[in-house]
């Protein structure tokens, strides 16, 4: 079963609630299983760059089927760079996004930008935990 818009919005709400708890300002993105944007929000005063970071990290998480931090360690590898180039350069292999798995299938990912790498990942985890 694919992610619904209502589920994606609930994930974002959960990520934003965690950001409030951490006293940080973030952007949060949820992409579907094909890496296409399903839902997005940017908190007031979150940096404009967090918009791109959240989406790019989410695309990397779903594209590689693993937390974006796992790809970060080998981001300079030719195969990773080749995939990023072939995909159009939208992937950002950096910590802050987690895949969403349902019934053993990758159905999307939540990516967050605006905090530290660990804070971003914690917000993504909190959002996904709302499902």
Q: Percentage of the chain with pLDDT > 90?
A: 98
Give the start-to-end residue ranges of the domains of the chain. Answer: 5-128
- Look at residues 93, 102, 91 and name the one whose alpha carbon lies nearest to residue 128: 102
DSSP assignment string, 22-34: HT---EEEEEETT
In the chain, which stretches have pLDDT less than 70? none
Q: Look at the pTM and tell me if it is higher than 0.85.
A: yes
Q: Rounded CA gap, 19 and 120, in Å?
A: 8
Q: Give whole-number Cα distances, 50 to 14, 90, 105, 127, in Å.
A: 17, 14, 28, 17
The CATH number of the domain covering residues in 5-128: 3.30.450.150
Give Cα 47 to chain centroid, integer Å. Answer: 16
């Amino acid at each position: 079963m694919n992610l619904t818009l209502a589920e994606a919005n609930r994930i974002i709400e959960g990520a934003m609630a965690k950001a409030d708890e951490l006293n940080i300002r973030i952007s949060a993105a949820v992409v579907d299983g094909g890496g296409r944007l399903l839902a997005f929000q940017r908190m007031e005063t979150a940096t404009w760059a967090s918009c791109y970071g959240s989406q790019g990290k989410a695309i990397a998480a779903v594209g590689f089927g693993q937390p974006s931090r796992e790809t970060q360690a080998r981001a300079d590898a030719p195969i990773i760079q080749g995939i990023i180039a072939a995909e159009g350069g939208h992937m950002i292999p950096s910590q802050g996004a987690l895949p969403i798995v349902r019934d053993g299938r990758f159905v999307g990912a939540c990516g967050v930008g605006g905090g530290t790498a660990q804070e971003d990942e914690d917000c993504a985890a909190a959002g996904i935990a709302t499902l």
